[in-house]
Amino acid sequence: MRTVIFLLPLALLPVACGGDQVPPAAVLPAGPKLVKALKVGAGATVNRQRYSGEVRARHETTLGFRVGGKLVERLVDAGARVVPGQALARLDPADARLTAAQAEANRALAAAELRRTQELRERNFVSQAALDAKDTASRAAEAQAKLAQNQAAYTTLTADAAGVVAAVLAEPGQVVAAGQGVLRVARDGEREVAIAIPESRVAALKVGAGGTVTLWADGAGRTYRGRLRELAPAADPATRTFAARVAILDADAGVALGMTATVDFAAAGDERIVVPLAALIQQGERAAVWIVGADGTLSRRAVAIERYTDAGALLKDGLAAGETIVAAGAFTLADGEQVRIAADAGR
């Protein structure tokens, strides 16, 4: 007879060992949520326009010779300071001297012929018309001689105002034409920032608009008062931007030519505010934001959106500068809820 043995599993029973039993974890009450908030109307939340540009002189003059010739000497380099009357470059003077000598010889000959004609006229050997002709010829020769002397002096290029050599446009050995640029000099005095304004923003700016100018190289974060002095009437055909010049009203020695600067325009009385898209919640057919009270209590407020921009939503109304709103995670909150603001909020 075959015997069948059934093995029954034994339940493992916990064995308590005196005082070593671990009590269940206590459930702590949840505190206010930590949220990221921002104060509208501060920093980048205001409806502003910012553009980067380069510091330039108010007056930049391209200097060239009044006569053509071969450039034989350049006396200054880019970055050199110049004073009025200082020699900057010279042309080969040989041809100009020969021309002046020829003109002087013609003047002397015309003057001698005039004297002989006057003597003959006194003896009544020639007519008055012949004397008048010689007198006119002598005057013309004298003017031509003075012109040649001036052109000989024009072979030396001099500075007409104090400033800094901003660029060198010709080198020794090069043959230049009359009026061709040799040096560009940035005059001392007013400084301004050259910027380019996109065609989508040009309608919002007018000549005379105020702004602030910040130098990238200034670690102290100093700002200067600026004013839009010039705005091009037509866009550049390649970049489709409008060239503009912003005068720096209180420029000092720290504003050097060629520095990179940021121009910040903020229209006076423009209270429209830009808020991040993450701060918006839907309230029926309108958008809304969470307002953070002084005690950390949330309240929902509807806002009107004018348009969406790269920086966020531009509001028509609903918020005032100085109010604090939740900047992110708005969909997880509830009306009347208490929250804590992160330490870096609003920075």
* Same domain flag for 200 and 249: yes
**Does 260 lie in the same domain as 196?**
yes
- What mean pLDDT is predicted for residues 144-171? 92
240 in a structural domain: yes
Q: Is residue 9 part of a domain?
A: no
Q: How many C-beta neighbours within 10 Å does residue 20 have?
A: 6
Residue 76 lies in a domain: no
- 54 in a structural domain: yes
Predicted confidence band of residue 9 (pLDDT cuts 50, 70, 90): very low
Going by C-alpha positions, the residue among 64, 58, 54, 77 that lies closest to residue 165 is 77
pLDDT band at 16 (very low <50, low <70, confident <90, very high): very low
- Which residue matches tokens 């550049």? 236
Residues 256 and 196 placed together within one structural domain of the fold: yes
Residues 125-142: tens digit of each pLDDT: 999 999 999 999 999 999
Please write the tens of the pLDDT for every residue from 313-336: 878 888 877 788 888 877 888 888
Domains in the chain, number: 3
Question: Over 70: is that where the pLDDT of 267 sits?
Answer: no
- Please indicate, yes or no, whether residues 261 and 200 belong to a single structural domain of this protein: yes
Rounded to an integer, what distance in angstroms lies between the CA atom of residue 312 and that of residue 316? 13
What's the pTM?
0.57
Q: Tell me, rounded to whole angstroms, the distance of Cα 275 from its chain centroid.
A: 27
Task: Judge whether residue 220 has pLDDT over 70.
Answer: no
Domain around 290? 35-47+271-341
pLDDT at 230 over 60: yes
In this predicted structure, which of 65-69, 216-220, 331-335 has the lowest mean pLDDT? 216-220
